[in-house]
Amino acid sequence: MAASPPYASAFPRHLAHFTHLRPRSAMNRNDRIFAHIDRRGLGLEIGPSYNPIAPKRAGFNVETVDHMDQAGLVAKYTGHGVDTSAIEKVDYVWQGQPLSELIGQEGRYDWIIASHVIEHVPDLVGFLGECRKLLKPTGTLSLAIPDKRYCFDYFRPLSSTGDALQAHLEKRSRHPAGWVFDYFSSASALDGAITWVAGTRGDVRHLHSLEEARNFFQLAQQTDAPYIDIHAWRFTPSSFRLIVHELQQLDLIDLAESCFFDSVGCEFYVSLKPGPAASQVDRRSLARQIQKELALAAI
């Protein structure tokens, strides 16, 4: 996407295979992502970029959506220190239209994977709704999500259900200029690193000057401006779980949590399935847990 800072999609992706669910202490990243997925079914990976989690070359029965075709992605990442030979054919090039419209068939997929995608979308509710349309009734949406406590979103406030409601009400397809400003004015690094792990201590500094943030703010106001890619949404594990629960209870999404793994490194993992939640969610307990999570992240 245009006007993306180099750290907007800088999170690592690694592929590992497993044939049964391992004990949680022994699980790796891909174990968590595939925990509730039947890998024999047809899948969709959204935004695989230069390092797909479910590559066709590894035998996955998968289709892909990205913002450029294969040639465009190779050109984009050439010279950036990544293995462009891992970039595979893109089945659907996403230009902002609803995913179900792009793909042209609802109820098509047994699973959908989106790693470090959901925090970028302008309309969180709309994105989840489109994923639901594409899933079979027994399908799974598997998300790997950055934990704002351990990445360049550190100084930014958490997103709320109200934020998601407002974005959906406005049917956003681009990020508001004020959100663009906040993103660039607050993005930070810990001793030069844009991601870190719990317990890390060091010097957190802004990545952009106020002048740079203002320039992006002004650019975002222009009707003919390129799409500016940002982290629109910021979560801790419990804050994301609370938003999903509240949206589901408000009948705004037909997806509920089926599996959750707490943060490892800079990210956490959530699987969602169509239908009601399998167990009761205590909103008060999640709200209290959010406060504990934030307190633990103080540097």
pLDDT band at 70; cut points 50, 70, 90: very high
Q: What average pLDDT does range 161-180 have in this prediction?
A: 97
Q: What value does the mean pLDDT of the chain take? A: 91
Predicted confidence at residue 12, as pLDDT, reads 35
Residue 90: partners with Cβ closer than 8 Å, 6 or more residues away: 64, 65, 66, 68, 69, 70, 73
10 Å CB burial of residue 69 (0-12, 13-18, 19+) is middle
Contact between residue 198 and residue 152 where contact means Cβ atoms under 8 Å apart: no
Tell me the average pLDDT across 189-216. 96
Candidates 278, 284, 274, 207; CA nearest to 242 is 284
How sure is the predictor about 298, in pLDDT bands with cuts at 50, 70 and 90?
A: confident
pLDDT digits (tens, 9 = 90+) for 239-258: 999 999 999 999 999 999 99
Rounded mean pLDDT of 261-285?
Answer: 91
Q: What is the pLDDT of residue 96?
A: 85
Region 270-283: mean pLDDT is: 88
CB distance 167 to 123 below 8 Å: yes
What are the start-end ranges of the H helices in the chain? 29-33, 70-77, 99-103, 124-134, 161-169, 177-186, 210-220, 237-249, 283-296
pLDDT, tens digit, 9 for 90 and up, residues 89-128: 999 999 889 999 999 999 999 999 999 999 999 999 999 9
pLDDT of residue 280: 76
CA atoms of 176 and 221, how far apart (whole Å): 8
pLDDT, position 277: 79
Q: Within 13 Å of residue 44, how many CA atoms lie on the same side as its CB?
A: 27
When pLDDT is averaged across residues 67-77 and rounded to a whole number, the result is: 95
Single pTM value for the model = 0.90
* pLDDT for res 10: 36
Cβ proximity of 172 and 258 under 8 Å? no
The pLDDT value given to residue 144: 98
Token pair recorded at residue 43 = 């899948």
- Taking the CA of residue 38 as centre, how many other CA atoms within 13 Å lie in the half-sphere pointing to its CB? 10
What pLDDT, on the 0 to 100 scale, is given for residue 299?
85
Whole-angstrom distance, CA of residue 141 vs CA of residue 217: 33
Integer-rounded Cα radius of gyration of the chain? 18
The predicted structure's pLDDT at residue 25: 55
20-24, 75-79, 135-139: the lowest-pLDDT one? 20-24
Phi, psi values for residue 254, rounded to 5°: -110, 55
pLDDT confidence of residue 279: 74
131: CB partners within 8 A, 6+ apart:
99, 112, 114, 141, 255
Q: Does residue 11 register a pLDDT over 90? A: no
In the predicted structure, residue 13 carries a pLDDT above the cut 50: no
Of the pLDDT bands very low, low, confident and very high (cuts 50, 70, 90), residue 24 is low
